[in-house]
């Protein structure tokens, strides 16, 4: 790489120069963060698929409903909770409804609105998925971190999220 810098003049510096000094460690950490996320997600999704339980996108929807009052949420609330656009949510919810894991019912208080409601079957799926998911999290994520690292990571990323919600 250094030989290349000699041969090609400034080219190598495209990335390096800008990321030198104080910023560099943060950029390296960002890349680690991205890769770690991609690898962990890939492995966990594979575990879920092999066990024939819910994929993460379905699990997220149903868990959000589970955690909501009366196990129901308006579509736009659900979209906000799982960070999907409303357009995407319409189709995602339609697929999950077709599988019988949630139902849609009109909101009596607002003629425009719908509630997505967790069904008994949906709860059952959540129940059977969780152990597999928990196993994946432990195996591909938690197992490799010390207690202290977990705390630092959680605290730091929460601070980041709080800032994102304001900005």
Partner DNA sequence: TAAAACCAGTTGTAGATACAACGAATTGCT
Partner DNA sequence: AGCAATTCGTTGTATCTACAACTGGTTTTA
Interface residues with DNA (CB under 7 A) are 46, 49, 55, 57, 74-76, 79, 84-95, 104, 107, 110-114
Query: What is the biggest distance separating any 2 CA atoms in the chain, rounded to whole angstroms?
Result: 71
Backbone torsions φ then ψ of 106, nearest 5 degrees: -65, 150
Nearer to DNA, 36 or 150 (CB): 36
Give which of a copy of itself, DNA, none residue 90 binds (C-beta under 5 to 8 Å, depending on kind): DNA
Listed ranges 88-96, 100-108, 109-117, 137-145: which one lies at the site for a copy of itself (CB under 8 A): 137-145
C-alpha distances (whole Å) from 155 to each of 1, 8, 158 are 37, 43, 5
The CA-based dihedral angle spanning residues 152, 158, 164, 165, taken in that order and rounded to the nearest 10 degrees: -170
Give the separation between CA 13 and CA 1, rounded to whole angstroms: 11
Please, what is the minimum distance in Å from the beta carbon of residue 153 to a copy of itself? 6
With contact defined as beta carbons under 8 Å apart, do 120 and 101 qualify? no
Listed ranges 35-43, 46-54, 92-100, 104-112: which one lies at the site for a copy of itself (CB under 8 A): 35-43
With contact defined as beta carbons under 8 Å apart, do 129 and 49 qualify? no
Please, what is the minimum distance in Å from the beta carbon of residue 51 to a copy of itself? 15
* 53 contact partners, CB below 8 Å, separation of at least 6: 125, 128, 129, 132, 133
User: Considering only residues 5, 23, 55, 106, which one is a binding residue for a copy of itself as defined by CB under 8 A?
Assistant: 23
Nearer to a copy of itself, 116 or 118 (CB): 118
Q: What are the residues binding a copy of itself (CB under 8 A)?
A: 1, 4, 11, 14-15, 18-19, 23, 25-30, 32-40, 42-43, 63, 66-67, 69, 83, 123, 126-127, 130-131, 134, 137-138, 140-161, 163-164
């Amino acid at each position: 790489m250094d030989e290349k810098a000699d041969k090609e003049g400034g080219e190598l510096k495209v990335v390096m120069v800008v990321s030198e000094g104080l910023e560099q460690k943060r950029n390296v950490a960002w890349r680690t963060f991205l890769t770690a996320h991609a690898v962990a997600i890939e492995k966990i999704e594979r575990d879920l698929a092999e066990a024939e339980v819910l994929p993460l996108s379905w699990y997220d929807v149903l868990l959000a409903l589970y955690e909501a009052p009366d196990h129901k949420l308006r579509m736009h609330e659900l979209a906000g909770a799982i960070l999907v656009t409303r357009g995407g949510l319409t189709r995602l919810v339609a697929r999950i409804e077709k599988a019988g894991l949630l139902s849609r019912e009109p909101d009596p208080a607002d003629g425009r609105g719908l509630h997505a409601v967790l069904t008994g079957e949906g709860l059952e799926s959540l129940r059977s998925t969780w152990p597999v998911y928990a196993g994946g999290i432990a195996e591909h994520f938690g197992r490799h971190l010390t207690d202290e690292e977990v705390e630092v990571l959680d605290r730091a990323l929460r601070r980041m999220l709080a800032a994102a919600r304001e900005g």
